[in-house]
Amino acid sequence: MTSHENRLRLPLLFMRLTVFLVMFMWTIDKFINPGHAAKVYESFYYITGLGASVMYAIGAIEIVVLLLFLVGYKKKYTYGAVFLFHTVSTLSSFKQYLAPFDGPNLLFFAAWPMLAASFTLFAMRDHDTKWTIS
């Protein structure tokens, strides 16, 4: 391992942990407040009529993917899935970006650095080796 690769390990780990934290909190919301999660799906993805059991199922799938992402298992697929999840989430909020100073819309801009972090992790997945499972 070169010194350059060694220097990358800690920042990539930190990026993975923080991306996990944000995604995990959104996933936990599906279990704690499935009605809120269903409203998010209605407002941003135009999917209506999702009940608590569907939110629990989606949450369960996300938890598995996120835990595998957290430990760096099957990075091509898990890092790719997290990047895809967040890309869809970020792009579905497009109308909020057009009116940044209306209500809480300014907060939606925080999605962009996280999208960059998710992409960076996917692109550099072979260098993200600290605390990962081969």
| Cβ atoms of residues 108 and 93 within 8 Å | yes
Distant-in-sequence, close-in-space partners of 131: CB < 8 Å, separation ≥ 6: 13, 71, 72
Torsion of CA 23, 29, 35, 39, to 10 degrees: -30
Task: Give the model's pLDDT for residue 121.
Answer: 98
Please tell me the distance from the alpha carbon of residue 68 to that of residue 91, in angstroms, as a whole number.
24
Predicted confidence pLDDT, tens digits, the chain (134 residues): 788 778 999 999 999 999 999 999 999 999 999 999 999 999 999 999 999 999 999 999 999 999 999 999 999 999 999 999 999 999 999 999 999 999 999 999 999 999 999 999 999 999 999 999 97
Please tell me the distance from the alpha carbon of residue 65 to that of residue 68, in angstroms, as a whole number.
5
Please tell me the distance from the alpha carbon of residue 115 to that of residue 129, in angstroms, as a whole number.
20
Task: Give the model's pLDDT for residue 1.
Answer: 73
| DSSP label at residue 102 | S
